[in-house]
Amino acid sequence: TQLLEQSPQFLSIQEGENLTVYCNSSSVFSSLQWYRQEPGEGPVLLVTVVTGGEVKKLKRLTFQFGDARKDSSLHITAAQPGDTGLYLCAGEGYNAGNMLTFGGGTRLMVKP
Amino acid sequence: KAGVTQTPRYLIKTRGQQVTLSCSPISGHRSVSWYQQTPGQGLQFLFEYFSETQRNKGNFPGRFSGRQFSNSRSEMNVSTLELGDSALYLCASSSLTSGLTKFFGPGTRLTVL
């Protein structure tokens, strides 16, 4: 069974601060995805990383896939209240078909 | 294109009853996956259908079942409901052209009393 450990579970910060969310596993994944979910809605894909060591930037968000393809991080620079939400990492294992294994999520609150 | 739609959005049932949830994928998407989301367990994979065939199944009891129709719409059924089945049930669709990208619906919030 593949597991993804996400940390921290909760994060409450002030507007303008930086933060990093971590996603770790003992298993190797063919790809890793990050989603953001708001109350009453389904998760929305932010990014997919597929190459070990890959770094992707999406405005103030920076995503990294570990060299060994077992871990990933999401860094937000100068957080805004609009960044508030549940951040989920999800891995697609080799031979897992179309199945995603999700981390437990990080609930982020950015206070103005 | 319209997004993934799920009906109903909210449902209240009692223990022992059964329930059917519906998911309409994005037009042209032939793969539909179902996930259960609870505060304690997070998002867990239930099953995936592609062209009316179940391709993958998660670690859930046989009370959870699903099917997909020729128009790619999918239903999932839970029989003999238990309190622990209370959750947000999410459906996601994808296509060969969308690759790894899954598009999630808003979910059906099921409460079992």
pLDDT (tens digit per residue) in A66-111: 999 999 999 999 999 999 999 999 998 876 667 889 999 999 999 9
A49 Cβ partners below 8 Å, 6+ apart? A31, A32, A33, A56, A63, A64, A65, A72
Residues of A in contact with B58 (CB under 8 A): 99
- Chain B: closest CA distance from residue A104 (Å): 5
Sign of the CA dihedral running B25, B31, B36, B42:
negative
Residue B50's Cβ-count burial label (10 Å; 0-12, 13-18, 19+) is buried
**Chain segment A19-62, per-residue pLDDT in tens:** 999 999 999 998 999 999 998 899 999 999 999 999 999 999 99
pLDDT, position A60: 97
Q: Quick check: bond before A8 cis, omega within 30? A: yes
Nearest residue, CB atoms, B106 vs list A1, A41, A97: A41
Cis amide linkage into residue B61, ω under 30° from 0: no
Cβ–Cβ < 8 Å for B104, B48: no
Of B45, B55, B107, the CB nearest to A100: B45
Q: Is the pLDDT of residue A17 over 70?
A: yes
Q: How far apart are CA B35 and CA B105, in angstroms?
A: 11
The whole-number pLDDT of residue B1 equals: 65
Q: Enumerate residues 31 to 50 of chain B having a beta carbon within 8 A of any beta carbon in chain A.
A: 31, 33, 35, 42-45, 48, 50
Contact residues on chain B for A56, CB-CB shorter than 8 A: none
